[in-house]
Amino acid sequence: MALDIKPREQCAWDAAALGEVMLRLDPGDGRIRTARTFQVWEGGGEYNVARGLRRCFGLRTTVVTAIVDNEVGRLLEDLMLQGGVDLSHVNWVPFDGIGRAARVDPDSTEKFLRFIIDEVIRHHVRVGAG
């Protein structure tokens, strides 16, 4: 079966990335546990490819993802715009206080928060007992 691929001139994009885009907090040369400042980078497997194709080869790329409409989401938007990737296919979702509407795994945020809360409680119990 032959593929009927449109010529480039008839396509809006050379590549489209589908997937999540995250923020990376980089402490530089320091350690996470003692860092007081971080550099912030955007990234995510599929997005990284689209950004690389745009920046290195000048291809027309877009990303299809959901981003929470709050200050952190707008920071992510700014970083992505600097990468040159088109954002016209971003689904902006209202902030619900935890980010349920913008994530892939429906339980991931709750699991992470539960882990953090449990660790804080464990630490306080240990310190209080010592």
Give the full edge-to-edge strand order of the sheet including 61-69.
15-18, 61-69, 90-94
Phi, psi of 57 (to 5 degrees): -120, 0
- Assess whether 44 and 72 both reside in one domain: yes
- Sort strands 90-94 and 39-43 into parallel, antiparallel or unpaired: unpaired
> pLDDT by residue (tens digit) across 36-58?
999 999 999 999 999 999 999 99
**Tally of structural domains, the chain:** 2
Contacts of 65 by beta carbon, 8 Å cutoff, 6+ apart:
17, 18, 19, 20, 21, 44, 47, 89, 90, 91
Based on the domain organization, do 26 and 84 belong to the same domain? yes
> How many other C-beta atoms are found inside a 10 Å radius of the C-beta of residue 35?
13
pLDDT above 70: residue 119: no
In a domain, 43, yes or no: yes
The CATH number covering residue 87 comes to 3.40.1190.30
Answer yes or no: do 60 and 19 share one domain. Answer: yes
**Mean pLDDT: which of 5-14, 22-31, 79-88, 95-104 is highest?**
79-88
Instruction: Indicate if the pLDDT at residue 91 is higher than 80.
Output: yes
CB 73 within 8 A of CB 65: no
In this predicted structure, what is the pLDDT of residue 87?
Answer: 97
Phi, psi of 49 (to 5 degrees): -65, -45
Do 49 and 70 lie in one domain? The reply is: yes
CB 17 within 8 A of CB 62: yes
